[in-house]
Structure 1
Amino acid sequence: MTHAYRGRLAPTPTGHLHLGHAKTFWTAQQRAVQHGGVLVLRIEDLDRNRCKPEYADDLLEDLVWFGFCWQEGPDVGGPFQPYRQRDRQSFYHQTWQQLNHLGAIYPSPHSRKDVANALRAPHEGDREVIFPVKLRPATWEVATEPGEVNWRFRVPDGEAIAFIDEHLGPQRFIAGQDFGDFMVWRRDGLPSYDLAVVTDDHAMAISEVVRGEDLLLSAAKQILLYRTLGWEIPAFYHCPLVRDAAGKRLAKRDGARSLRSLRQQGITPEHIRESWELFL
């Protein structure tokens, strides 16, 4: 990267933060410090049915308690406000307009499941549903607004999307085989997870995206969006998922391992960071 390092924390307030979030976020903060860079806090609260204001307030408190320190965010401001996704709809609409002008996306009435999942980041165990090419329209009417219809990005079938993950090394996914035409806009007027984070990471000049390895495939989709839009592609660093003794990935519903619960037990952040595995 030719510019200064800018990393980000991007929690979703659908529950209390747990040890898995803390460990990944701590890696993000460490990398920002190591590079002498800036750390941005962005609240990813697009899904208003699942994201609750009380969780957003609690996560700020829990992050501060754990020892996180960000230089830009909803509580401290910064040059790229606002730092809550629910307040950034105009940015996402502009991205839709650019993709539409380029002919890179098309209206699609298919798949209720895809619509339901479009707002959230993928999770481990989610099966990647390859959108059937036969359902891709040959032509469609030119639109100036998204309207009440879903929109998909047309992937370059058979093309390899390769990149170097800063932690996992070389990665390679085949468009049309590992993933198909993916949702970028929902019929209810909201952007998908992939469109929203690409828009925000670009607008906020994020130079490296640190997150869980369950989002590795999303990186390939997002690279296609960056490339199509002519935007600089950030570096990616995907962290191993934190698992319990049975090998199961931690989830927000597992309250016993939430930062809030550990704090209430009198456990210190320093103790957690010294021995993560003791609390799994």
Structure 2
Amino acid sequence: MDIRSRFAPSPTGRMHLGNIWIAFLNWLWTRQRGGKIILRMEDIDRDRCRKEYEEGILEDLSWMGLDFDEGPEGIYSYGPAVQSRRYDIYDSILSAMEKKGHIYPCYCSRSRIHQVLSAPHEGEARPVYDGHCRNLTPEERASMTKNPCWRVRMEESTISFTDLFYGTITRTLKAGADDFVVRRADGLVAYQLAVSIDDGEMGITHVFRGNDLLDSTPGQAWLIQKLGYQVPTYGHLPLLVDTRGIRLSKRQKGITVRELRNRGLRPEDLIGLLLHLAGGLPELRPVSLKEALEDFPFEKLTALQKKHIVLPVS
């Protein structure tokens, strides 16, 4: 199999340690197997994305020495590797899905959705939609005055996918309850749709990301399959958290790579830290990218089975 993985950051802030953790482990696994890596900019939320953040991501990755075979500057057989320039692809697929009856408009207000998702549902440990707008008549839809979002018309089905750390995962998806949104009421394409189309169109065989996205994977795998693509193998990695157990993120103002660079940290210092956190290095020390590739086989990184990894205070 020709391996194709992807690193797909959203340029909504500076790259933090949690981002570079995913990028590095993705790069290491793929390069050790002779695969190709695609750098895809997930800038679909134009209100929050900025060009300066995209440039900062590219700068941080270059500083680290992480290279990519395809990226946002190129045009490929599948189109650009930038979501904001792929709207014609998303619109075309959504139009085809609508004609086939695979999606439907949902007119529920935010307050109603919040109420539904907050209510307990027998036998369900997660929030579910109640399918309220699934079977509206044409007359009922015509009487609505607000712009709808669009949801998939989920079929009662069982979906299985493979995860490098969790093994084979099988989930039952339910009609109505699992009718997730593919286009928002403001017209923006939803993440679930864009990422599924992009992974399928780009021929992605392996997806590495945080395990906080594990619950959304069955729906994505179903959609990828529904659209006729090959479902990739996933690798849901443990999240980096602070000493309070809070996930490192842009919203939490986690430590950024730029901040570490300004403190005088070298790429080999950061690589050593990431390998130490991954369980491949007993004690902290600098490690070059070349040494990481040659002397730290991915399967020897023993901490990657954990749910989260605590970042030591420095």
Do 1:162 and 1:172's aligned partners in 2 also have CA atoms closer than 8 Å? Answer: yes
Alignment partner for residue 55 of structure 1, among 53, 56, 62? 53
1:21 matched residue in structure 2: 19
Do 1:14 and 1:51's aligned partners in 2 also have CA atoms closer than 8 Å? Answer: yes
Note the C-alpha offset of 1:181.
0.9
Matched, 1:165 2:163: yes
Question: What is the TM-score of this pair, normalised by structure 1?
Answer: 0.85
Secondary structure of the equivalent of 1:238? strand
Give the counterpart letter for 2:101 in structure 1.
G
Matched, 1:30 2:28: yes
2:295 matched residue in structure 1: none
Distance in 2 (CA, whole Å) between partners of 1:266 and 1:211 is 28
1:95 matched residue in structure 2: 93
Question: What is the TM-score of this pair, normalised by structure 2?
Answer: 0.76
Note the C-alpha offset of 1:154.
1.8
Secondary structure of the equivalent of 1:75? coil
1:81 matched residue in structure 2: 79
2:150 matched residue in structure 1: 151
Note the C-alpha offset of 1:139.
4.6
Give the counterpart letter for 2:154 in structure 1.
V
Q: Which has the higher contact order (CA 8 A, sep 6+)?
A: 1
Give the counterpart letter for 1:30 in structure 2.
L
Give the counterpart letter for 1:94 in structure 2.
S
Alignment partner for residue 109 of structure 1, among 107, 120, 126? 107
Note the C-alpha offset of 1:64.
0.9
1:40 matched residue in structure 2: 38
Alignment partner for residue 241 of structure 1, among 232, 239, 242? 239
User: Against the structure 1 CA distance between its residues 16 and 115, is the aligned structure 2 distance closer, same or farther, given a 3 Å change threshold?
Assistant: farther
Distance in 2 (CA, whole Å) between partners of 1:85 and 1:114 is 30
Secondary structure of the equivalent of 2:239? coil
2:120 matched residue in structure 1: none
Point out the more displaced range, 127-136 or 268-277: 127-136
Secondary structure of the equivalent of 2:226? helix
Give the counterpart letter for 1:90 in structure 2.
D
Alignment partner for residue 7 of structure 2, among 9, 12, 15? 9
Do 1:256 and 1:262's aligned partners in 2 also have CA atoms closer than 8 Å? Answer: no
Secondary structure of the equivalent of 1:242? strand
Distance in 2 (CA, whole Å) between partners of 1:39 and 1:82 is 15
Distance in 1 (CA, whole Å) between partners of 2:209 and 2:110 is 27
Do 1:98 and 1:229's aligned partners in 2 also have CA atoms closer than 8 Å? Answer: no
Give the counterpart letter for 1:215 in structure 2.
L
Secondary structure of the equivalent of 1:275? helix
Point out the more displaced range, 74-83 or 186-195: 74-83
2:214 matched residue in structure 1: 216
User: Against the structure 1 CA distance between its residues 162 and 75, is the aligned structure 2 distance closer, same or farther, given a 3 Å change threshold?
Assistant: same
Alignment partner for residue 174 of structure 1, among 142, 162, 172? 172
Distance in 2 (CA, whole Å) between partners of 1:88 and 1:20 is 27
User: Against the structure 1 CA distance between its residues 59 and 165, is the aligned structure 2 distance closer, same or farther, given a 3 Å change threshold?
Assistant: same
Note the C-alpha offset of 1:226.
1.6
Post-superposition CA distance 1:42-96 (Å, at most 9, x none): 1000111111111111111111112210011123554443121111101101221
Percent of residue pairs bearing the same amino acid type: 36
Do 1:106 and 1:140's aligned partners in 2 also have CA atoms closer than 8 Å? Answer: no
Figure out how many residues of one structure are paired with residues of the other and give that number: 264
Secondary structure of the equivalent of 2:171? strand
Distance in 2 (CA, whole Å) between partners of 1:59 and 1:109 is 37
Alignment partner for residue 255 of structure 2, among 254, 257, 264? 257
For structure 1, the residue ranges without an aligned partner over 5 or more in a row are 117-126
For structure 2, the residue ranges without an aligned partner over 5 or more in a row are 115-124, 275-310
Note the C-alpha offset of 1:227.
1.9
2:224 matched residue in structure 1: 226
Residue pairs, 1:112-131, within 5 angstroms: 112=110, 129-131=127-129
Note the C-alpha offset of 1:35.
2.1
Distance in 1 (CA, whole Å) between partners of 2:67 and 2:31 is 10
User: Against the structure 1 CA distance between its residues 229 and 81, is the aligned structure 2 distance closer, same or farther, given a 3 Å change threshold?
Assistant: closer
1:120 matched residue in structure 2: none
Do 2:131 and 2:177's aligned partners in 1 also have CA atoms closer than 8 Å? Answer: no
Give the counterpart letter for 1:195 in structure 2.
L
Segments ≥4 residues shifted beyond 6 Å = 113-116
